[in-house]
Every structure is written in C-alpha cells, then in structure tokens.
Amino acid sequence: MIGRLNHVAIAVPDLEAAAAQYRDMLGANVGAPQEEPDHGVTVVFIELPNTKIELLYPLGEDSPINGFLEKNPSGGIHHVCYEVDDIHAASKQLIEKGARVLGGGAPKIGAHGKPVLFLHPKDFNGTLIELEQV
C-alpha cells in the first residue's frame, strides 16, 4: 500500500528560528511559511534530495499540535508521511484491519493540494502516520 516517504514533520516552538537553522547552519533549501487554516498549522517545507522535512507550527487555539508542543516544549518529530496511490482504498483497508483512521476516514486536502489522512499513533508504534495520495 505505502510507497515513498513524502516527508518527516517536526513540530517546532519557533518557526522562524527553525527555518533559519536549516537554511544557515545545515545549508538546506528552505521554502516560505505557508498557512494551512484547515489543518491548524503553519508549515515550512525543506527540500532534501530524497524527501522533504515539514516544519510545523500551531495556527489557532485548536491546533492539533498544541498538545504535542505542550508535552515536547523543545519540539520533536510529529509524523511521517507515506505516499499511496489510492487514499480511499487505503482508508477502507486500514479500517477493515482495525486501524483508527482519524477524522472519520475522510481525506482532507493537504499542503501539496493532494488528499491526506492520518492514522492514530497508538496503532502504529507511537508514530502518527500521514498518508498522501500522489
């Protein structure tokens, strides 16, 4: 079902500082901040030769990453995103196999303009998984 690793997301307490660190210390190709109100986050994508890093910062009081940053005030790896060919088929199969597909299993449009959904971290070894249809 899963294909390439699309991105690794890191929740950060200071988006500007984290972006500057990747750009100026690590010499990475860092994009501009992108507000994603439907997801309650502002993101900065960093292009690597084989995948992307997604820096995440909360947008709004109901942001899904507020709790994560409260527990991890210095930031930390928040999720990994795998590519799938058919997100509806993936969602159906995962629900049949007992995984909790968040948001009722209905995909939302993600930061790349493509459908995404999330799988509960407690069902996957403590790792929040995002699936993106490519």
Q: Which residues bind ligand LP2KCY5N (CB under 6 A)?
A: 9, 36, 39, 41, 43, 54, 56, 64-65, 67-68, 71, 78-79, 81, 102, 110-111, 116, 118, 120-122, 126-128, 130
Determine the Cα–Cα distance for residues 8 and 103; give it in Å rounded to an integer.
Answer: 21
Tell me the closest approach of the beta carbon of residue 29 to ligand LP2KCY5N, in angstroms.
18
- CA distances (Å), origin 41, targets 3, 91, 97, 100: 25, 23, 30, 22
CA trace torsion 30, 119, 83, 16 (10° rounding)? 0
Q: How many CB atoms lie within 10 A of CB 41?
A: 24
Binds 102: which of ligand LP2KCY5N, Co ion, none (CB < 5-8 Å by kind): ligand LP2KCY5N
Does 70 qualify as catalytic in the annotation? no
Nearer to ligand LP2KCY5N, 25 or 71 (CB): 71
